[in-house]
Structure 1
Amino acid sequence: MLHRKISCAAEVLKVKDLAKVFGATKVLDGVSFTVRQGEVVSLIGSSGCGKSTALRCTNFLETPTSGQIEFLGEAISVTTDARGEPKIVNAAAVRGLRRHVGMVFQNFNLWPHRTVLGNVTEALVCVLRLSRKEAEEIALWALSKVGMETFRDRYPQQLSGGQQQRVAFARVLAMRPKLMLCDEPTSALDPELVGEVLKIIRKLAEEGATILLVTHEMRFARELSNRMLFLQRGRLEQDDTPEELFRNPASEAVKRFLSSVMPANA
């Protein structure tokens, strides 16, 4: 297991009373948690419990219905306007948050018309305004971190799913984020390719990356995480170390979920 002392580390992310409603469905209902520097936190729970929505609300890919996201000490709150629509307070801070928060998606989201190198340099040039030379140097560094530098001139359709996901990680790493969000990064992969992506996440964690991870790879999450957050019907039912969560489930829902996804002798 990966163990790092993070109890005294600074809070990178603080989520308070996060709520998200789609029509009449309350997907998130007052979720609160923190992520400290160098910590790996896994969001777990059954399909439809709100894990991915919570992750996407963290960087405002989805606008929360209400609640507050505090990133590196700067708070961004969501209230309701006169029409009952969500209104972001301190909306200018969202751009800064996104600049320092990288996200790896389920389905890679690579540009098919750009090479591996082009996919990684695009944000460096267009967002950070680096020169093409600087961007390529950083991109090659990031690709080397995930073992993809020799594929720099290939296009996504010439890569396996696992290789495409490694390029997606390199694209995030190149931006040197303060926080990485990973939304089921292995769910679109064939089983034999899952391991190579999990190795990348493990390597980043060992190097001190701060990661908020949604995953169904329960054994991996148990070994890697500092904390695991169990969501049930949009509510946070347990926030504990893996050892405590597996030893003392906080509710029958947690117990049922763990028994359904882990062997009895795990």
Structure 2
Amino acid sequence: MRYPSAIPNLVAVLVATGTPTATLAADWYTGAPTDVGADEYIVAIDAAATVTSNSSAFGVVTATIAPVTPLNESGPRLRLQGLSGVYSYPGSTSGRTVRGQQEEGTAMFGYEWIWKQAALAGYVGFNVRSNELSVLDPNNPVAGTGVGAKFAADLYLNPTLETLVAANASYSTLFHAYYVRVKAGFAVADGVFVGPEATLLGDAYFNQWRVGAHLTGFTVGPMKFSLGAGYAHDRVQKGGYYTSVEGRAAF
């Protein structure tokens, strides 16, 4: 998304990542390049990957489309998203390792409000999720394929030109999956921010929290990137670590 020039360069990307039967809703919020110029983009493509030491690896691609006005102006939005990943965890009854494979598709429609140093978006739609387990786990109710209603919200703020606050939240009626991520940052270069981040995610079987740090907004070629790393703790595998990389291109 491109916002007015008062908002510094950044990519404050939010992603839900692979953890055993987690929400894996993989929504994120992305900030904007500074100089709009003649580039009034209408499509933004975000890609992200996260690996945890808790035996999981997930990737996601999201397209945000502005069908009426450019992304740097308030208007309706269409969001399409695809997620895929693998994970494993110790079975709750057999003691055998359960290996899972998850795919999810999401389609949502919403509206984004753009101000001089802030942006707020809300979405509503549906998601389809397939979660296959290698071993039957009777205590895990989130296996199989289903469809649910999904809701999401994104918030981006520049309290000052040297600081940022970004937040994302989503909820699906399918397995009561939820995801919340908040990050703050301080500018270390033009449009590049460093700071803490925290994430809470879960569903009817699983929950996890993460605390870490991010480097957001650096550019490689035509894309902007964000890196994150930190500590993760979940109900099944307990303590571990996560790393993530996220990127955005707009046209």
Q: Tell me the TM-score normalized by structure 2.
A: 0.26
Give the number of the structure whose residues are more often strand, by fraction: 2
Which has the higher relative contact order, 1 or 2, with Cα contacts under 8 A spaced 6 or more apart? Answer: 1
Q: Tell me the TM-score normalized by structure 1.
A: 0.25
Structure with max Cα Rg: 1
